[in-house]
Amino acid sequence: MILATLCYLVKGQPITEILLGLKVKEALGQGKYNGLGGKKEAGETIEVTAIREVYDETGKSVRVREQDLEKVAVLYSHFPARSEWDAATCYSWREGESRHDLR
């Protein structure tokens, strides 16, 4: 089984903006916009995975703190061709609750 994260970075209350990433690598969803995330690595918590993936997928320009993540769903997906991909965790983050690293 592979665990992965999917993180939506949102702004406003109610939400007025959302940061999405464009999938450029050749894989399922290529050329589509989606939240940020990826596969959990050995020894990581799912929260650390979300933090790392947001940082990596934004070109190291956005840092999210664990306490600012809000777990909003656990999504269960079934891929007949790759049945080991059966779960993803979904998080939300609100601007102003974390710091941006624009170096």
Helix or strand or coil: residue 17? strand
Residue 51 DSSP label = H
CA distance 6 to 44: 15
Q: Please give the average pLDDT of every successive group of 10 residues along the chain, which has 103 residues.
A: 83 86 84 90 92 93 87 75 63 49 32
Q: Taking the domains of the chain in order of start, what are their residue ranges?
A: 3-94
Class of domain 3-94 (CATH, top level)? alpha beta
pLDDT digits (tens, 9 = 90+) for 7-23: 888 888 888 888 999 98
